[in-house]
Chains A and B, each alone.
Chain A
């Protein structure tokens, strides 16, 4: 398995993230124009580092990683994993096993599935809880995705995915920024890719709560623009 980790200014966390997944496969970190030492730390931790000379966004970084994994490493299985230390390696391992059972297509992580379902616990970010406002945005995203892409999933903007090389070849991402997650669902629908979800746990932290809720507006804008001008 080739694990692709897009990273932007994650020098403080990337080392521990790589260490947690290194036993599961080859790690490729795409340093998306970081101003800190993300690339150097990742290299020391044992990852192959691809560096974007300027920041192009998470979607662009993932596509760079996938092309590298397919063209240079001849990967058979490709995984996406976040660089901010909020995901668990055991969830990635479980998603990999699910793909093995499935034999084709893609496995997506879901924060709202099964016993690991994440519940909103607070109005303010804490070490574990998801805020109510984030929950509302994500649930709105599910409805939007259902209407827009026609794909019924329980979690749309989740960065944990495991797929076969055949699937990765079909998922050519053209949306460079955060809308890539919706584009992936679009492409899954278009190419009729076999899809399943596994429950995962995401640990939210006080110091970094990931993407802002306002980030939904550029995502919707990019998706509409793609539909309008291709």
Chain B
């Protein structure tokens, strides 16, 4: 009971917080919608667990809680994949900047010090 109550409160807090961030132009609308949907599902599971059990059985999983864990694992794997792409892109951008600085400074160096 207390766990459900805590989950609902945390979900509401998170949704409100995300909306505030959107109004402060810190996150895009797509992020607010996705995040709100995820936490609304969380509230749904807490309030009407039978509904989620029926949904789980409809897709071939015995319990709603199990389905939730599977979905969470898949979601985390996807987030990890996106972060890998983002990290690699950032690293390539950093290298590109470092490279351009080196080449720009090297042009002067080539004229002054380089021997043929």
A binds B: yes
Residues on A lying within 8 angstroms of B by beta carbon are 22, 26, 28, 30, 43, 46-54, 56, 60, 63-64, 67-68, 71-73, 174, 176, 225, 228-229
**Total contacts A-B at CB 8 Å:** 70
Is there an interface contact between A53 and B103, defined as CB atoms closer than 8 Å?
no
A51 to B103, CA, bound (A): 8
A154 to B113, CA, bound (A): 38
A229 to B78, CA, bound (A): 12
Is there an interface contact between B116 and A26, defined as CB atoms closer than 8 Å?
yes
Distance to closest chain A CB from B89 (angstroms): 9
Interface size on B, residues (CB 8 A): 22
A56-B106 contact, Cβ under 8 Å, with A26-B114, A48-B113 = no
A67 to B88, CA, bound (A): 21
Query: In chain B between 75 and 116, which residues have their CB closer than 8 angstroms to a CB of chain A?
Result: 81, 84-85, 88, 91-92, 94-95, 98-99, 101-103, 105-107, 109-110, 113-116
Is there an interface contact between B115 and A67, defined as CB atoms closer than 8 Å?
no
A50-B95 contact, Cβ under 8 Å, with A43-B113, A225-B88 = no
Q: Which residues of B contact A53 (CB under 8 A)?
A: 98, 101-102
Q: Which of B95, B103, B116 contacts A176 (CB 8 A)?
A: B95
A26 to B91, CA, bound (A): 30
Is there an interface contact between A52 and B110, defined as CB atoms closer than 8 Å?
no
Question: A222: nearest residue on chain B (CB-CB)?
Answer: B88
Is there an interface contact between B99 and A51, defined as CB atoms closer than 8 Å?
no
Is there an interface contact between B92 and A174, defined as CB atoms closer than 8 Å?
yes
Distance to closest chain B CB from A227 (angstroms): 12
Question: A30: nearest residue on chain B (CB-CB)?
Answer: B102
A71 to B99, CA, bound (A): 13
Distance to closest chain B CB from A40 (angstroms): 11
Distance to closest chain A CB from B78 (angstroms): 13
Distance to closest chain B CB from A97 (angstroms): 20
A67 to B114, CA, bound (A): 17
Is there an interface contact between A72 and B109, defined as CB atoms closer than 8 Å?
no
Q: Which residues of A contact B109 (CB under 8 A)?
A: 43, 48-50
Query: In chain B between 19 and 72, which residues have their CB closer than 8 angstroms to a CB of chain A?
Result: none
Is there an interface contact between A229 and B88, defined as CB atoms closer than 8 Å?
yes
A226 to B98, CA, bound (A): 21
Distance to closest chain B CB from A84 (angstroms): 21
Distance to closest chain A CB from B114 (angstroms): 4
Is there an interface contact between B114 and A50, defined as CB atoms closer than 8 Å?
no
Is there an interface contact between B114 and A52, defined as CB atoms closer than 8 Å?
no
